[in-house]
Copies of this chain bind each other. A is one copy, B any other.
Amino acid sequence: MHKQLLGPGITFFPQPTTLVSSVDADGKVNIMTASWVAMVSKTPPTLAVSLHHQRLSYANIHQQGEFVVNVVPADLALAADYCGLRSGHQTDKLAVTGLTTRRASKVAAPLIAECPLNLECRLTLEVPLGDYRLLLAEVVEVQATASAIDAHGDLDAASFDPLVYLGGIREYWSLGDKRATAYRDGLQLEKE
């Protein structure tokens, strides 16, 4: 397991593929691809999203204080890539991708209907990090596509089919096989 030095950089994976939806003061919707997204607290549920400060989505969220993080399914890889390549300053990305929106339950920004998991967020803190702004936001509601939830209320990963982004490698991948159940299977190591 010989190692090679790559130097300082942003190569890191796997990452989520999400579309962030936001609105401006006139209610006009913009969507933008974001993979620099992570859950960061459960007291209260808090999501972190990092955006370049020149992005229209950043301006919308900074001004309106609300947004939705929509998890992208694998069959929308091209739409996700497109929404990262073009700016809402010049392009109506909903029109080009054919994605549709739906009213959220607690924030003014809409959900993306075709995305199976939608986290409604209210901005609580901004941290400037060079050209980027780390947006910390309380998750005030989570919505999921009903067909991905079974009779016990469990979420079926295969139905969600979330798209994985490999940052640094610049590739989108689907999920393969389930390898383990978390908070359980690791205890097998104590019996060996």
- Residue positions of A touching B, CB distance < 8 A: 1-16, 35-48, 50, 69, 71, 74, 77-85, 96-97, 102, 105, 111, 113-114, 117-119, 125, 127, 129-132, 134, 136, 138-147, 149, 154-155, 157, 160, 162-190
Binding site of A, secondary structure by majority: helix, strand, loop or mixed? strand
CB distance B5 to A96 under 8 Å? no
- Report Cα–Cα, A44/B3, bound state, in Å: 23
CB distance B140 to A179 under 8 Å? no
- Report Cα–Cα, A17/B189, bound state, in Å: 18
Identify A10's interface contact among B85, B139, B175, CB under 8 A.
B139
CB distance A45 to B9 under 8 Å? yes
Given the known A-B contacts A117-B12, A171-B182, A183-B81, are A146 and B39 also in contact in the complex, defined by CB atoms under 8 Å?
A: no
Given the known A-B contacts A12-B119, A127-B127, are A186 and B6 also in contact in the complex, defined by CB atoms under 8 Å?
A: no
A118 to chain B: which residues have CB within 8 Å? 3
CB distance A168 to B184 under 8 Å? no
